[in-house]
Amino acid sequence: MESGYDSSARWDHETTKMLFEMCMEGRWKEVVEIYEKEKRAHTAKIKRGGESALHLAVTDGQEEVVLELVDLIMKAESKEEALRIQNKRSNTALHLAASMGTIRMVRVIAHADPELVNFRNVDGETPLFLAAFHGRKEAFMFLHYTGTPNYYNCRRSDGDTILHSTIAADNFELALIIIHLYEDLGNSKNKEGATPLHILASNSSVFKSGSRFGLIEKLIYQGISVGKLEVDESDYLPPYETIDNGKTKYPKNYQSCMDFMKLTKNTVSSGNLEAQERIASETNLLGQEAEAWTLPSLFPANYKCFADFLKLVFMIMLVIVFGKGWSSS
């Protein structure tokens, strides 16, 4: 399909308008063609908000198009300028990709220019901050390991940190990861003097005392088993790239860690059941897998009584319901 663009023509307002219309109409193949023919398109701001075609491709979720555009940008002399274009809110394409949490887009843009991880928008938010703010765990972990992790990227202009933001959004899983990676953020204060603990304490609904439980809810609450909260970073580390043989690779600064984890996992899984139990008990690493080996019961021991109670209630209800049916007949 022809784009109708003459590469010999002067790059002017009409050409910018045409590129914008292509993006709005989803004619992404033509956008890629213009990027191939005209390097000036790479640095053109085609929307009133100051966005480039790359910005619009990201916000439209066009993963393959983003990969193609970045690849073309990297072949041009103006690659740094094109990748670092900021809109009127000073958001780069990486800011937008991090907010959306699309890991492929985050990965390709950050890999093309790792310095983008340190860029701030008008609110002082880095891509890392936005990934945490929107609860994008994989994008957050990837950006954390892109470059050298630092506390500078964890705070925005109003003093709120990524820990303040995740707790305020009730995203406690990501908050736990953040505490694991950035321990000092637990005592950080925003401009109002509030720590993350203040934010947590102000949300009464997350505590038992602030919730109105009925009888069933209370029984369920008492039966919930809560173990020690731990973070396994390998659960959240996204693959860096996949090569032809299907082997997954990770960034160099944590490739060794992943190799060790895989080696440990393979060693444990290669033995028989008895050997696995012995190794786990000797190293005190007996986790959920070991529990599956040693506990034949459907329920963990600490709420087996609760499960038995529910069975009893169920049996009583059956007797009452069917008993009435029999008596009425």
List 155's β-bridge partners, or say none.
161
| Helical (H) or strand (E) element with 198 | helix 196-201
CATH number of the structural domain spanning residue 181: 1.25.40.20
Average pLDDT over all residues of the chain: 76
Residue 56 in tokens = 């619009």
Instruction: Please give the backbone phi and psi of residue 132, each rounded to the nearest 5 degrees, phi first.
Output: -70, -45
Is residue 33 in some structural domain? Answer: yes
Claim to verify: residue 139 and residue 281 sit in the same structural domain: no
Claim to verify: residue 176 and residue 264 sit in the same structural domain: no
For residue 30, what are the CA distances in angstroms to 6, 24, 46, 59?
A: 12, 12, 15, 18
Total domains present in the chain? 2
For range 24-45, the mean pLDDT: 95
The whole-number pLDDT of residue 165 equals 94
Claim to verify: residue 27 and residue 110 sit in the same structural domain: yes
Q: What is the DSSP string of 128-166?
A: HHHHHHTT-HHHHHHHHTSS---GGGGB-TTS-BHHHHH
- Backbone angle region of 121, left / alpha / beta, with phi > 0 → left and psi within -120 to 50 → alpha: beta
Claim to verify: residue 139 and residue 83 sit in the same structural domain: yes
For range 123-135, the mean pLDDT: 97
pTM over 0.85: no
Stretch among 120-134, 143-157, 253-267, 273-287 having the lowest mean pLDDT: 273-287
Is residue 58 in some structural domain? Answer: yes
Is residue 285 in some structural domain? Answer: yes
Claim to verify: residue 65 and residue 193 sit in the same structural domain: yes
Claim to verify: residue 74 and residue 203 sit in the same structural domain: yes
Instruction: For 136-290, list the strands marked E by DSSP.
Output: 241-242, 248-249
Claim to verify: residue 63 and residue 152 sit in the same structural domain: yes
Claim to verify: residue 76 and residue 191 sit in the same structural domain: yes
Is residue 322 in some structural domain? Answer: no
Whether the pLDDT of residue 266 is over 90: the answer is: no
Range of the domain at 287: 242-293
* End residue of a domain, out of 209, 234, 269: 209
